[in-house]
Amino acid sequence: MAIYLNGQFMPIEEAKVSVLDRGFIFGDGVYEVIPVYSRNAFRLEEHMRRLQHSLDGIKLANPHSRAEWAAIINQLIARNAGEDQYLYLHITRGVAKRDHAFPKPPVAPTVFMMSSPLPSPPDSLLHSGIACITAPDNRWLRCDIKSIALLPNVLLRQMAVDAGCAETILIRNNEFMTEGAASNIFVVKNGTLLAPPKDNLMLPGITYDVVIELAAANGIPHEVRRISVAEIFDADELLLTSSTKEVLPITQLDGKPVGTGKPGAMFAKLHKLYQDFKRDVMRK
Ligand code: PDD
């Protein structure tokens, strides 16, 4: 497996980063996850825009132009096996003596990218759906930044795993749902698809955008607004989205069935639309 580190491609075993890297010491960096279908980076422009938003959020200069990023990304895809991959792209504020304040003058950022295989979710998950739990969203107030400091998300996801579940749905202020520990969440009620607003309390998912676009293009009623805790427990369906999970049905929440307890009609519709979109658009 070839990775990219600071201007060079190399086997992952040869990649080395200083222990003084601010990513290692402070979690001072941002990342992206970009799905690749038929060797095409999906929505590269949108991922680059979100990366720029994250970099601006942590006041770190973008080390590369769009054209440079595209060249690195295309080389990394070419050097790795598999038509479908996902790229993990990671930028930290670089290597400096340990001090919370930014290094002055700035040092070169650390830029790392790797590729992993991207399998479609297994049919078993699409047929049975996944189980989730809920937990208080105890993260900071800049969840729109795709920060590498993921300890809250790690602990929240582990709560789900410890409960034999797949994901934790996060509740802010005991009032409203924001997203999953590493995914976005949609609610379906009376045939309408409900999505939380893309504000500072959630990561603006690229898959989230695709699902809303597919709903809009296909006459599926949808609303973007705050979703109360009561609404997630009273939902007909709950759906989870992310670049690596696509669209999945959530059929159990905190040990109780969601709706009928089986994947519903909205899931079936959106899943088909997503698969058609993948075949006809993402692979081109
Ligand atoms: N996570 N919300 C959070 C907190 C996430 O970490 C992710 C993705 C999403 C979905 O975003 P997108 O549709 O662009 O993948 C929402 C990635 C996959 C990860 O950390 O591995």
Q: What is the spatial distance between Cα 265 and Cα 248, in angstroms, rounded to a whole number?
A: 13
Reference 43, options 72, 5, 70; nearest CA is: 70
Q: How would you classify the pairing of strands 246-253 and 130-136?
A: parallel
Q: Give the position, in ligand 1's atom list, of the atom nearest the Cα of 153.
A: 4
Q: Give the position, in ligand 1's atom list, of the atom nearest the Cα of 245.
A: 18
| Residues forming beta bridges with residue 222, ordered by sequence position | 193
**280 C-alpha to center of ligand 1: Å?**
23
Count CA atoms within 13 Å of residue 206 on its CB side.
Answer: 22
Ligand 1, atom 9: closest residue by C-alpha = 183
**244 C-alpha to center of ligand 1: Å?**
8
What residues does each domain of the chain span? 2-117, 123-282
Supply φ then ψ for residue 180, to 5 degrees: -95, 170
Catalytic-labelled residue, pool 16, 59, 97, 146: 146
Query: Which residues, judged by CB distance below 6 Å to any ligand atom, belong to the binding site of ligand 1?
Result: 33, 153, 179, 182-184, 203, 205-208, 241-244
| Residues forming beta bridges with residue 252, ordered by sequence position | 131, 257
146 given a catalytic annotation: yes
CA-based torsion, 184, 71, 27, 93: positive or negative: negative
- Spell out the SS3 assignment of 169-238: EEEECCCEEEEECCEEEEEEECCEEEECCCCCCCCCCHHHHHHHHHHHHCCCCEEECCEEHHHHHCCCEE
For residue 248, give Cα distances in angstroms to 153, 185, 243.
19, 10, 11
Which residues 6+ apart lie within 8 Å of 88 measured at CB? 31, 32, 33, 113, 114, 115, 116
pLDDT at 284: 77
| Helix or strand (DSSP H, E) at 240 | strand 237-242
* Contact call for residues 202 and 196 (beta carbons, < 8 A): yes
| Helix or strand (DSSP H, E) at 30 | strand 29-37
pLDDT at 177: 98
In Å, the largest CA–CA distance within the chain is 59
* Contact call for residues 269 and 232 (beta carbons, < 8 A): no
Q: What is the spatial distance between Cα 211 and Cα 276, in angstroms, rounded to a whole number?
A: 12
CATH class of segment(s) 123-282:
alpha beta
* Structure tokens that stand for 181 in this block: 């520990």
Going residue by residue through the chain, which has 284 residues, state the pLDDT in tens, using 9 for 90 and above.
899 999 999 999 999 999 999 999 999 999 999 999 999 999 999 999 999 999 999 999 999 999 999 999 999 999 999 999 999 999 999 999 999 999 999 999 999 999 999 999 999 999 999 999 999 999 999 999 999 999 999 999 999 999 999 999 999 999 999 999 999 999 999 999 999 999 999 999 999 999 999 999 999 999 999 999 999 999 999 999 999 999 999 999 999 999 999 999 999 999 999 999 999 998 87
DSSP 133: E
Q: What is the spatial distance between Cα 255 and Cα 258, in angstroms, rounded to a whole number?
A: 9
Q: Answer whether the bond into residue 117 is a cis peptide, omega within 30°.
A: no
> Over the stretch 242-260, which tens digit does the pLDDT of each residue have?
999 999 999 999 999 999 9
Ligand 1, atom 11: closest residue by C-alpha = 205
| Helix or strand (DSSP H, E) at 159 | helix 151-162
pLDDT at 1: 82
Say which CATH topology domain 2-117 has.
Answer: D-amino Acid Aminotransferase; Chain A, domain 1 (3.30.470)
Q: What is the spatial distance between Cα 21 and Cα 132, in angstroms, rounded to a whole number?
A: 35
